[in-house]
Each structure stands twice: as structure tokens, then as C-alpha cells.
Structure 1
Amino acid sequence: MGKQEDFVLRALEERDVRFVRLWFTDVLGSLKSVAVAPAELEGAFDEGIGFDGSAVEGFARVYEADMLAKPDASTFQILPWRSGDGPSTARMFCDIAMPDGSPSYADPRHVLKRTLSKAAEKGYTFYTHPEIEFYLFKGEHADGAVPVPVDRSGYFDHTAQSKGADFRREAITMLEAMGISVEFSHHEGGPGQQEIDLRYADALSTADNIMTFRTVIREVALGQGIWASFMPKPFGDQPGSGMHTHVSLFDGDQNAFYEAGAEYQLSKTGRQFIAGILTHAAEIACVTNQWVNSYKRLISGGEAPSYICWGHNNRSAMVRVPMYKPNKGQSTRIELRTIDAACNPYLAFAVILAAGMKGIENGYELPREAEDDVWALSDRERRSLGIEPLPTNLSEAIRIAEGSELLAETLGEHVFDFFLRNKRNEWEEWRSQVTQFERDKMLPIL
């Protein structure tokens, strides 16, 4: 065992930890957890904890079910909501392995680690900084009931005795107690809608942090007698919840996207990375926007993009190059505005990085910048500028993804096959629904 494992075993005694939760994620991005006693942890570090992979969404078929969860000691944290005055509960993320010790082909965390390793072979480290939006609703969730937001406030509103402000304060305190740094927080545009921005970190740490973030947000909400949702578009007439994500590549200590004197201080590498994302945007949409509801957000305008284009400080563009900060070359980055917080962050970051790296490796040319509000242009004007639409629904996204070599290569055959099969089932289930809209519109007249 290494130093980190020794540190964890010491911390178990010092912090009176009675339970350790081992966390991992299924292919769709749902958090899984198995609790072990501290006495079992040394064995878990050496050999892993065995479990039935066929019972986890997308992990294995029945005849190859045995898998091992191997805890990553660097992710050890005490769970503040489970640790009052009495014994503590801790958690660690796990890497999933096969019985022979090889990495599981079905582990989303491994998909991201494999993609990061390919970038590292070229000398690059991938950093991400997510701005996570979500809604808070009153009471408890009830099937079929229309949720009621906790407030009627709007963007950046400061409201006396605000439920959202109290919630954000407690959530941020809990996140920082778990080593997750928060940069900003504020009320978003919709009633009850909040935004909390995490400080930038390497993509693997950020993906782990997003999984922790979603858990913390739900735990804090339940503790306050309300509930939280990361659903991309809960209301047709209110803003959707996205996860605008700032990304950058570093070559050692140097920001590979920065070039002094270049337009927007954006280097050739940065321009090729954007070109890669734009070129493969439609192919990766079913991963960055993986739910049938995700496309309700993308077709609604406002802060959510519907078209494949980039712009400098243009909030209608899919990729935005934020304003350059003088004397801060290290802060040069790009912002991807499609992604939503309901995605599997391991897979989403993997496909974004793979698309950008493809642009660098193949020397893609960056198309002309979109300077206008893309939403305000006519279809003819967008076509004349070479601006193509993103998929308009999950079915279209699946159809494009099925022919994507980039996606198959990045996800691996097993995850690629399972993910798309599950998404097809979701679309078929959606297609068979008769909605309230149809009943309201058609029952009286047909």
C-alpha cells in the first residue's frame, strides 16, 4: 500500500469512522454506493470489494458478472451530513476492475481516465470548470404533481429571507468541508433556480466533484424540507438548467490555449480544439445531452444553444471564447454551453476532450466566428454562414451517434453499445406517451 492508503487507514481511527461508503457510477451516470466496515478497507485497497456487475445498469451480462470495486484513496472524504457529534461516515470513489485486476470496460471513470491518458501522451492536461444550475422545489416530490418553486426570484436577485440564499450557504459550506472549492453562487433566471460554480480542476477531479455535488445538493435540500432537481427543462416557460463548462488544455505549466498577440489571445491549438468540438458536436450530443428532456432546453433559445458555432463573448453561440483578462494568459479558456448537469460527467468530459484532441491532431480549420445573435438570424442567413443546427431531439442525436467512429473509439465498444441501446429505449418509451398538451389541444376538437 502507498502513502495515501496509509493516510486513510490512520484517518479512520483519528476521526472515529465507523462506515466507509465506496462510490462508483453506472453507465448512465447514477451514483452507486456500498458501505464497508473500516476493518475491511485494507483488503479493499489490496484486492477490491467483489460485487455482482450484472445488477448494475450497463456493467455486465449475467455470465460475466463478477467485478471488483477498488477504492481510490486520493478521494477519501468525511461525509459532513452523516457525521455529527457521533461516529463519522466517509466515502471514496472506486475504479471498477475485472476479477483478473484489469480495468472494467464498463466503468465510466475508466473511460475518462483512458481519454486523459491519450491526451497526456501528447503532453496535455485537461482542466474543466463547471457552472451548475438546478431548481429547488417546495415540499416533497410527488409523482404527477406540478412542482412548486421555493421562490419567485430572478437572475442575481437578492431577496430578504431568501430560501435559495440560505440553501446555497449551507450547500457551499458542506461542499467546502469535502474539499470542493466553490467560486461563485447566485440565484438564476427561473423561479427557484440556483447556480453554483465549482473552481477549475483537472477533469477527473471535476467529474468526481460533480457526482459529489449532486449528492450534497439533494441531501441539503431534503434536510431543509425541500427537494432539488437537475432536470434540464422542468418548465416550458422558464429557463432550462445547463452546466456551461469552461475547458482548457495545459502543456506542463503553460496554458496551451494562450498566445500573446493572437486574436482573442487564442492560440492555434485553442482554435483547433474548438474546431474539433464543432466538427463532432452533433456526434457527441447524445452524451453531453443524454436525456429526452435535454433537447427541450436546447430548442428553447436564451442561454441554451441550438446551433453549431462559436463566438467571442457571444452567449448565443455553442462555444464561447470569454473576454481575455490582461496579464492573465493562464486564464485563457473556452466555454462549452451545450452540456447539462444531468449528464454522466465522466463520459461527457471524455467525448469533449476526444473531439477537441481530434481537431488538434488533424489540424482542423476553425470556421468563421458567429458575431450576431444566432437565434435572431433566419434559417437562410444561418445556412449562408455555414451554421448547422444541433440535433433537435434524442432520436436524431442517437442516429448521428450510431455512425460516429469518434464516439465508438472514446467510449469503447461495450459502453457505446449499451448507452445507445438504453437511449433508444428511452426514446421509444417517450414516443408512446400521450401528453397533457395533446389532450388539451385535441380532445375538445377531435
Structure 2
Amino acid sequence: MTGIQKDNLQQSLSARGVADALDAKLWLGDKGIEDIECITPDIAGVPRGKMMPSPKFLGSTALAFPTSVFMQTISGEYPEESDTFEYPATDGDLRLQPDLSTLSRVPWETDPTAQVICDIVSHTGATIDYGPRSVLKRVVAAYADKGWKPVIAPEMEFYLVQAEGDPNQPLQAPIGRSGRRLGGGSSYSIASINEFDDLIDDIYDFSEAQGLEIETLIHEEGAGQLEINLNHGDPLELADQVFMFKRTIREAALKHGMYATFMAKPIQSQPGSAMHIHQSVVDLESGKNIFSNAEGKESELFHSFIGGLQRYLPNTLVMMAPYVNSYRRLTTGGSAPVNVQWGYDNRTTGLRVPTSEPEARRVENRIPSSDTNPYLAIAGSLAAGYLGMVGGLKPEPAVTTTANEGQIDLPRGLLEAVQLLEDEEALVPLLGSDFISVYAAIKKQEFETFMRVISPWEREYLLMNA
């Protein structure tokens, strides 16, 4: 066997991803894989798909999938048709098209099982514009047309909570190894992380088995609230990793009798959970960060990117705050922002510019909630920055004081955010009209579903007083 052949074989047997069908066959055989889960993120970011024996996967089995799966709300309902949204007349099949670069083991399964993320395509192989991966690919392609490549690094916050089968009961922090229930105010506490050492070990082990790399893990401010930071890289690859990490963390928590939740505001008295997105852009030819000029100073494109975020983030907010619960996190007076101001190392702004060397100059979007579909949140943020750069927009002056005490720049509710997305024509070429119509219809239906539920607040204050 030649050196090149050995290198190719080693790549084919890596933890994550193969080059082609031949390498997939070698990989599956080497790991003794019996079953394969072909999964794809739906509009909510929930994994949908099919499981099959590995010989079937290597054959010519068509992975048909109903169109309607991608037009469901988070609760499984279907929106009403309208002037801007209609169902396909036949509700015909789509196809799952595996992306072999995402092939990996499913380490929590007892039988040898693999998983692969799929795109959704038509029966002819054409792209389906409202597929979440397709939306992000479309935005990244717009950058490529300008000779640019966006680079992102996400940070995911989530809560570990005590398992509770009754949705009417408030969630509580779990009991750690000390036998005590965690309280809040534990930012960066190593002792709080150590309360869940066994669970965190499983998160690391599961991640390593899937070829997912964690940069850092910390305990956040909330009781049982953790944060995982990922290395920077290609937007689609990082969105895939967030998609898989959510599944991984939930499975690890269940193994230890807990829930892991990515709800934006799961516990009333505790901070919300965010998915901050660090963003930069490099020149495709030179690989240099275009946010810095030849002298290492801030470039015009850097300022225009920020200007685009300030101008268009209100219109894409519903892609970063997708549920009624998301807006419970977006309040004044906390680290979760309701502004699109920017500042240097200022965590009270929606747009923070961390201290860095010129080659690492970037903008942190602190607005997205952790409940978002990562493909859509990243696409919405990058689309806003792109429109700023191509339009030569100028940002407002940087804020040097506290920015989150009064000014509100963002929609305060789901319906208002949906309307702003529908109204912004500049986003249509980037996100696609099909996606906007499907997404808006789903969000409106989810709001109507929420409005059917009577809350404890209403019973407490209106029952005897109204």
C-alpha cells in the first residue's frame, strides 16, 4: 500500500466524515456499523429522518420524505394557507441526500449505529429553498460571489434541569453529586461544573466519538446553566456541529436522569440562554481577514458589516428568537440585549467587538437565543452583515457606556418580528421567498397555538380582579 493510499484509508476511518461512497463502505465496515440514521434538521432544528440497515444505505435505496414535514410547527400542527403561503398541491415526496462529510457514530446507542446529516432535495436533485441547510448555503454562496468567506464561532448556553414529566410544574435545577440543588450566581465556578463531572465526561466522550471538538466548557450565571464554546470555522460545518451537539448533550443528560434544555428562558428567576455568534470574513484568495486593512486597522468593510447588523437584525430577529418564550429572554437591564448598539468588549451591547489581534478581528452577535435553529440564526446574522458590506452602510458610533438599560431596538414579540421579516425585500434574494413564506406561516401558527393556553399569571391576577 502506498503512502497516499494509507493516508486515504486513515481519512476514511476517521471519527467524522468520509470523502465518497467507497470510503463510506470502508468506514462502516471498519466500525462494524449495523444501522444508519439519516437525519436532517427541520425548520425548528429538530432532527427528522429515517433509520436503515447499513447494507441498504450502501445500496440504491431512495430516501423519500414527505414535503409536509418541513411545514409543521414545533407542536406538529400545520399553518393555514394564505396569500403568501400555500401547500404543494400533491404533498409529494422530497429526498434526503446524505452529506458524507458528516458521517459519524452514534455513541449513545447500544448497537453499532452511525448517523449522517442530509440535505433535502427534489426528486430530480434540485435544491429545496426552505431547507435550513439550503438557506445557510445560499447566504454563504452570496459571500463567495464577492470573493469572501465568512468564518463563525458559536457559543451555546443551556440548562441542566431536574427531570419532570408534568409540563405544568416549574423547572428546577438538578441535584449534583454533593446532594444539594445548585443555586444561581455561579459564573465560571469550577465547583459547580464538578457537581456534574460524570455527565460532562460523557459529553466529552460522546463528542470525541463523533469528531466534535469542544474548545471550552464553563458554568454560566444560572443554576445548572452551562456554556460550550466551539472553535471557529466554516458556517455550515459549525451549524452542523451545533445541531449535533444539541442532540449529544440531551442524550448525555438523559443518561444521568436529567434534562438538558435549550429553551431561551426555562426558569423564571434565572438568566436566559443565548447562542452568541462570533463572525469575521476572510478574502477567498488571500485568506486574510477583510475586517482589517493592510496597516492592521479597522477596515471600511468591518464598519459596513456592523452597519448591516444594526440595520437588518431587527428584520432577521425571528430567525434568532423563534418562539414566544425567546422574547422572555430579550429584556432590558441584563446581559441579554434588546439593542443593536456596538462597542469594544462591551457585553451590554447587542454587537460586541472582542479585544483581538488584527487577523482575528470579529463581531460577536449576542442577540440569538439558544432555542434557535443554528442554520437559520447564522444565516440571518450573516445576511444582515452582507447587506451592510455590499450597501456600504455606516454604523452608529460605538457605545462606551452601559447600553442595555433603556433603548429597545428589537421587536418585543413574535408577531412583530415575523412582520419585519416579511416586509424586508432586501432579504429575499439572500434567504429565498419560499423560505420566508414557509417560515412566516409556521411562526404565525405557533403564536396562535400559544394563545390557546391560559397561563398561571392570568389565573393569579385576573381570576378574581378583572
TM-score (norm 1): 0.90
Tell me the amino acid that sits aligned with residue 250 of structure 1: V
Which residue of structure 2 aligns with residue 61 of structure 1?
88
Distance 1:92 1:346 in 2: 16
Matches within 5 A, 1:30-429: 30-44=46-60, 48-57=62-71, 61=88, 63-82=90-109, 87-150=111-174, 151-152=182-183, 154-159=186-191, 162-252=194-284, 253-259=287-293, 261=295, 265-325=297-357, 329-376=358-405, 389-429=409-449
Which secondary structure does the structure 2 equivalent of 1:374 belong to?
coil
Contact 1:243 1:339 survives alignment (8 Å): yes
Tell me the amino acid that sits aligned with residue 235 of structure 1: I
Which residue of structure 2 aligns with residue 385 of structure 1?
none
Tell me the amino acid that sits aligned with residue 105 of structure 2: I
Which secondary structure does the structure 2 equivalent of 1:197 belong to?
strand
Q: Deviations over 1:181-216 (max 9, x none)?
A: 111111110111111111112000011111101100
Distance 2:417 2:212 in 1: 33
C-alpha deviation, 1:65, in angstroms = 1.4
Contact 1:20 1:35 survives alignment (8 Å): yes
Looking at both structures, which has the greater relative contact order when contacts are Cα pairs under 8 Å and sequence separation is at least 6? 2
Query: Does 1:22 find its partner at 2:44?
Result: no
> 1:106 and 1:165, CA in 2 relative to 1: closer, same or farther beyond 3 A?
same
Q: Deviations over 1:78-134 (max 9, x none)?
A: 111125xxx511111111111112112231111111221111111111111111001
Which secondary structure does the structure 2 equivalent of 1:34 belong to?
strand
Contact 1:311 1:371 survives alignment (8 Å): yes
C-alpha deviation, 1:276, in angstroms = 0.7
Contact 1:351 1:410 survives alignment (8 Å): no
C-alpha deviation, 1:161, in angstroms = 8.4
Tell me the amino acid that sits aligned with residue 92 of structure 2: A
C-alpha deviation, 1:64, in angstroms = 4.1
Contact 1:347 1:411 survives alignment (8 Å): no
C-alpha deviation, 1:395, in angstroms = 1.8
Tell me the amino acid that sits aligned with residue 364 of structure 1: L
Shifted more, 24-33 versus 125-134: the winner is 24-33
Distance 1:243 1:180 in 2: 17
Tell me the amino acid that sits aligned with residue 24 of structure 2: V
Which secondary structure does the structure 2 equivalent of 1:254 belong to?
coil
> 1:232 and 1:251, CA in 2 relative to 1: closer, same or farther beyond 3 A?
same
Tell me the amino acid that sits aligned with residue 54 of structure 1: S
Distance 1:67 1:275 in 2: 38
Q: Deviations over 1:265-321 (max 9, x none)?
A: 432211111111111011001111111111110115321111121111111111010
Shifted more, 70-79 versus 157-166: the winner is 157-166
Contact 1:129 1:198 survives alignment (8 Å): yes
Shifted more, 166-175 versus 30-39: the winner is 166-175
Shifted more, 48-57 versus 361-370: the winner is 48-57
C-alpha deviation, 1:170, in angstroms = 2.0
- Matched residues, number: 426
Shifted more, 30-39 versus 150-159: the winner is 150-159
C-alpha deviation, 1:29, in angstroms = 1.8
Q: Which runs of 5+ in 1 are unaligned?
A: 383-387
Contact 2:304 2:385 survives alignment (8 Å): yes
Which secondary structure does the structure 1 equivalent of 2:191 belong to?
coil
Distance 1:61 1:403 in 2: 24
Distance 1:330 1:7 in 2: 36
Distance 2:395 2:124 in 1: 45
